[in-house]
Structure 1
Amino acid sequence: MTEKTSENQGADAPRGLNLRWHLAQTALEVDTTELEFALMRTFEGFGRWQSECLASVSDHRATGPENAMLHIIRMNDRPKSLRDLARMTNRDDVPNIQYSLRKLIAAGLVVRRGSGRAGVTYEVTAEGRRVCEDYGDVRRRLLIAAVENLPGFADRLAEAARTLNILTGIYEEVARVAATHRG
């Protein structure tokens, strides 16, 4: 490990590796930028994992967010409204959420119930329930087994989840400030 310096080297940078970013002038900025870059890569890897895991148990091809939507609809075995889904996923792109719902409905994994703007809910079908169960089995055999093989990693995951929840709040707040003071 090298020590952090004012020359924009992160704490975990191998000796001689340049961690200069156009977004970073201080060690804290380098660390923040490295985290954001790691989050982007993690998000994409997570999406690929979700798609491949789903494809292993179903003929339905879905993006990571569509797969997540299926499992969120299944969560607690109760129907969800569009508002519930947007809130639970921290998304405000309602047309994209609706598009994902149409794809899940067309695949026979989700059904739309009710009418009117406030009375519509979504729930998994019997096939959706089977796919969720099979997905959970593959997830346990591959992902959970891999995590269990890393000593102390479960505690690190719990801490990472707490940290990401805090970061979500920080990003939401600074996004509001930026939108409020936009020129």
Structure 2
Amino acid sequence: MNDRRKSLETQAELLDRGWHLARTPLEIDVTEVEYALMRSYEAFGHWQAECLATVIEFSASGPENALLHIIRMNDRPKSVRDLAQMTNRDDIPNIQYSLRKLLKGGLITRTGSGRAGVTYEVTSLGHRVTERYADIRSVLLIEAVTRIPEMAGKLEDVARTLELMTGIYEQAARAAATHRRRHPQPEPGGEQNGDGTS
């Protein structure tokens, strides 16, 4: 523990980690988590795309690949509303675009109608692709996790922490939307400076 503290003190002396989003030690720590989340999200997307590409010649983004597996989850049909709720997304048009892409690729099928409700489930091809994906994931990703000492034991804590942060971000987003101030409108034909003056 002392070695870690010394290392952090050395970093603090050598590196300037403060900026407009990181003015206090707590803000610095939160910002470091945010950057880690951004990089992890992108790395996760790269992994999903490359893993899927080893299974089938089908170009899909990370979120599209995630939708495919969530549709397969528990082998039960899911509506757009289910998918949005399960992924914490509200960009329904983008979800629908991804679903059309998966449909065109023959990986999912659509049943139902507007009134009764439309649901999606994987096709036999989608089932084979997701099974093969799971096999490759086990060999490449899960094996890598098992090689890192004590990593498996930390994953549950990581998941709980991320869920807590998700709730905090959601609550903060609601508060920001509730208390958003009205910005002054620019004068016709005039430019505004950053402080709102012409």
TM (norm. structure 1) is 0.93
Partner SS state of residue 80, structure 1: coil
Is 1:113–1:120's contact at 8 Å kept on the other side of the alignment? yes
Q: State the alpha-carbon separation in 2 of the partners of residues 42 and 97 from structure 1.
A: 21
Post-superposition CA distance 1:96-129 (Å, at most 9, x none) = 0000000000000011111015510000000000
Partner SS state of residue 14, structure 2: coil
Is 1:50–1:67's contact at 8 Å kept on the other side of the alignment? yes
Identify which range, 116-125 or 53-62, moves more after superposition.
116-125
- The equivalent residue for 2:150 is 152
- The equivalent residue for 2:99 is 101
Match of 2:80 among 71, 82, 89: 82
Percent pairwise identity: 62
Shift of 1:156: 1.1
Structure 2 gap ranges (5+): 182-198
Match of 1:32 among 27, 30, 33: 30
Change in 2 beyond 3 A, CA 1:137/1:153: same
Partner SS state of residue 120, structure 2: strand
Post-superposition CA distance 1:5-56 (Å, at most 9, x none) = xxxxx77947512212220111000000011011000000000000000000
- The equivalent residue for 1:176 is 174
Q: State the alpha-carbon separation in 2 of the partners of residues 87 and 140 from structure 1.
A: 27
Partner SS state of residue 157, structure 1: helix
- The equivalent residue for 2:41 is 43
1:32 alignment partner AA: V
Is 1:70–1:104's contact at 8 Å kept on the other side of the alignment? yes
Residue 140 of structure 1 pairs with residue 116 of structure 2: no
How much is the aligned-residue C-alpha RMSD, in angstroms?
A: 1.7
- The equivalent residue for 1:57 is 55
Larger Rg belongs to? 2
Change in 2 beyond 3 A, CA 1:155/1:15: farther
Partner SS state of residue 111, structure 1: strand
- The equivalent residue for 1:67 is 65
Change in 2 beyond 3 A, CA 1:143/1:63: same
Moved over 6 A (4+): none
2:175 alignment partner AA: V
- The equivalent residue for 2:119 is 121
Change in 2 beyond 3 A, CA 1:15/1:153: farther
Structure 1 gap ranges (5+): 5-9
Change in 2 beyond 3 A, CA 1:28/1:174: same
Q: State the alpha-carbon separation in 2 of the partners of residues 69 and 13 from structure 1.
A: 41
Is 1:2–1:15's contact at 8 Å kept on the other side of the alignment? no
Q: State the alpha-carbon separation in 1 of the partners of residues 64 and 158 from structure 2.
A: 24
Change in 2 beyond 3 A, CA 1:83/1:12: farther
